[in-house]
Amino acid sequence: MSAAAALRVDYLPLARLAQQPSPWWRGVLGVVGFESAPPLNGMAAAIPVTASGTPLLGSDTPLCEVWQLADPDLDGCRVDCSGHVRYRHGEPMLFGCASLDETEARRDGESPAATLRRVTELAYRDIFRVMEHSGYPHLIRVWHYLPDINAECDGDERYRHFNSARHSAFAQASADGAGVFPAASALGSRQGSAFSIHFLAARCEPVMIENPRQISAYHYPRQYGEHCPLFSRACILGTGPGAHLFVSGTASIIGHETIHSGDEVAQTRETLTNIAALLEQANRRAPGGRFDLDALKYKVYVRHRRDQPAIAAELGRWLQAQTAVVYLEADVCREDLLVEIEAIGTAGASV
Ligand code: 3EB
């Protein structure tokens, strides 16, 4: 049995959450609301709760993302010494989250870009500190949500300022972990949202996966900004059946270039082809286990809500009807990308 086999993620209706008995909550690592952080009826003190600020599309029932470990007795929610990161952990993994409001954080005389950079570095500094303190040295997966991600700010796009700050954060943190970057997503949240980040860290080292159809993001040429986006295309935690695969936000990019500009259906198809290519790489690296497109759970970020039905129809051609897919409205970090898809899965036995 794999060390990581205990993790699961579900997209649950908020109403179902309210009905869960208290023993069920003992295994919950964290909860992510899409529109806003869900009220947890008395459990909020024990569970890290956050929100991505990306409205749910294509569903009448409000949902949230719930991370659970099979280990039923986790400690309570902790808060790091600076008060930014709330986290909870079980034996193999730690879940943490932080939200920083840029308007509140802004110092007198500081430019908006400087605030964004400082807030990003602050969040990362505290995350790395929590990881070191708690004995989870491997950053596996990070989600970043920032409002106005494509907006110009002090002469550059906010996403690019964010990339520069992430660069400094990793440079400061990496003594021996240099050059190992987590799987990640970076999306634009609704205007007025706080800068929000949540992550998974592990005791065991993951295996990082790149996509042969794409240049590694950390090697992108300068045209995408002074500092590259530091993330791996995917990573695997554990071995054989029960190993977990974390697929980063994936888009219609070949090499380093966006393709199918303006065509959300073709972009969706290209993105799924990229995810299929990652699965092929992952299956080579996970002997005894097997990841399948249909056995993953997906989050699909849609730039324009009007495109959601067409994107969903294209996904329907690739995936079985029962596959878990959540659609969220979000700006994608290149202006010409209309859709981005991330996924997570647990390996079955290979035949
Ligand atoms: C890309 O492939 C699309 O900056 O952390 C996807 C996943 C993307 C993560 C990030 C950006 C990030 O470049 C964008």
DSSP symbols for 50-74: EE----EES-SS-EEEEEEES-S--
Cα–ligand 1 centroid distance for 105 (angstroms)? 25
> How much is the pLDDT for 340?
98
Cα–ligand 1 centroid distance for 251 (angstroms)? 8
Q: State how far the Cα of 272 lies from the Cα of 342, in Å rounded to an integer.
A: 10
pLDDT in tens, 108-126: 999 999 999 999 999 999 9
Residue nearest to atom 14 of ligand 1 (CA): 333
Query: Is the alpha carbon torsion for 122, 301, 158, 110 positive or negative?
Result: negative
pLDDT in tens, 250-271: 999 999 999 999 999 999 999 9
Instruction: Look over the chain and give the mean of its residue pLDDT values, rounded to a whole number.
Output: 94
Contacts of 316 (CB under 8 A, 6+ apart): none
For a mutational test of ligand 1's pocket, the pick from 231, 299, 300, 337, i.e. the residue with the most ligand atoms closer than 8 A to its C-beta, is: 231
CA angle 44, 47, 50 (to 5 degrees): 80
What backbone torsions phi and psi does residue 236 show, to the nearest 5 degrees?
A: -115, 135
Domains recognised in the chain with CATH numbers: 7-346 (3.30.1330.40)
> Taking 60 as the threshold, does the pLDDT of residue 50 lie above it?
yes
Element (DSSP H or E) covering residue 329: strand 325-329
Q: Pairing state of beta strands 156-157 and 152-153?
A: antiparallel
340 is catalytic: yes
What backbone torsions phi and psi does residue 31 show, to the nearest 5 degrees?
A: -130, 135
* Contact assessment for residue 341 and residue 250, using Cβ atoms and an 8 Å cutoff: yes
Cα–ligand 1 centroid distance for 218 (angstroms)? 10
Which segment of 21-30, 141-150, 197-206 scores lowest on mean pLDDT? 21-30
43 vs 46 pLDDT, higher one: 46
As a dihedral over the C-alpha atoms of residue 299, residue 58, residue 54, residue 186, rounded to 10 degrees, the angle is: 30
34 lines ligand 1 (CB under 6 A): no
> Taking 50 as the threshold, does the pLDDT of residue 341 lie above it?
yes
Percentage of the residues of the chain whose pLDDT score is greater than 70: 96
Most confident of 38-42, 177-181, 320-324: 320-324
186 lines ligand 1 (CB under 6 A): yes
The whole-number average pLDDT for the span 78-94 is 91
81 vs 106 pLDDT, higher one: 106
- Residue written as token pair 């520069």: 164
pLDDT in tens, 277-317: 999 999 999 889 999 999 999 999 999 999 999 999 999 99
Which segment of 78-82, 303-307, 337-341 scores lowest on mean pLDDT? 78-82
17 lines ligand 1 (CB under 6 A): no
> Taking 90 as the threshold, does the pLDDT of residue 175 lie above it?
no
Cα–ligand 1 centroid distance for 73 (angstroms)? 35
Nearest to 202 by CA among 67, 82, 44: 67
The whole-number average pLDDT for the span 133-151 is 97
For the whole model, what pTM was predicted?
0.97
> How much is the pLDDT for 71?
73
> How much is the pLDDT for 3?
47
> How much is the pLDDT for 4?
47
pLDDT band of 351, cuts 50, 70, 90: confident
Amino acid identity of residue 178, one-letter, is A
Within the chain, residue ranges assigned H as helices are 14-18, 22-25, 102-105, 112-134, 158-173, 264-285, 308-318
> How much is the pLDDT for 70?
87
Strand partners, 56: 328
